Amino acid sequence: MPSSGHRLRDVEHHPLLTENDNCDSASSSSSEADVADRVWFIRDGCGMICAVVTWLLVVYADFVVTFVMLLPSKDFWYSVVNGVVFNCLAVLALSSHLRTMLTDPGAVPKGNATKEYMESLQLKPGEVIYKCPKCCCIKPERAHHCSICKRCIRKMDHHCPWVNNCVGEKNQRFFVLFTMYIALASVHALVLCGLQFVACVRGQWTECSGFSPPVTVILLIFLCLEGLLFFTFTAVMFGTQIHSICNDETEIERLKSEKPTWERRLRWEGMKSVFGGPPSLLWMNPFVGFRFRRLQTRPRKGGPEFSV
């Protein structure tokens, strides 16, 4: 060990780190600034399928709203206003989904449990730190290892297959926006479906859609079911996320009933910490901080993620 004044504990009670441990010190030499310049993506089959299904369902909803309900309508302003609102919600939802999926959730650098890194920490005598034996890194406080991402994630809330990523310290705000915009779009679609059913029944299903009555009914019923399921799921997730942020407690910490060893940021302090800055319309913008990243070819040394 680099010093007898501090102790290093392994979170799974494996042997303590020594100079001969199989830690890739080269992987820890990559700076966090370099990692921030690359797009994060998890190559998990289930997650990628769920992400594609999410996009297809949103595209389907947009197709039904636009081509089945709004374009055949004789009320010009009804079609324009509802079309703009729904498509804006869909774009914001998909943008938030992309930001959640392609943003590093707060991964701890692999293999940083090295002698040099230990010395750079300048630990106090008797201070205890923890090493993850799975990714061979020093675990910061409130970090947890994700078996799908194969990384330790700072303030990990949970791994969501629908966004093919962990929800953690750096992408939680985008996940909250994703659930909010999907819930709003679902409510809007359900209201439009109800109005469309009423209009079609009153008009005896003539000229209420460019499709035949049986096809129109099937499309509307499927959209209603999709809207109900999406709204229920995303509304619950939005509520739990806001509750977790206001209480400064992740879902994992709540399930494990972990006693807080950190100074909690309650309510607005927690919201400002996640969304950045005082309350403003920027909180609702999933494009904040976005910049195009240049494609970079890098050798893959293991693990399911790659960067571009």
Up-side HSE of residue 162: CA atoms within 13 Å toward CB? 18
Kindly give the pairing relationship between strand 137-139 and strand 128-132: antiparallel
Cα–Cα distances in angstroms (integers) from residue 148 to residues 44, 164, 284, 303, in the given order? 7, 10, 29, 9
The catalytic residue among 23, 137, 160, 193 is 160
Q: How far apart are CA 168 and CA 156, in angstroms?
A: 4
Largest CA distance in the chain: 85
Q: Answer yes or no: 135 catalytic.
A: no
β-partners of residue 42 are: 305
Burial (CB count <10 Å: 0-12, 13-18, 19+), residue 304: middle
Active-site positions? 160
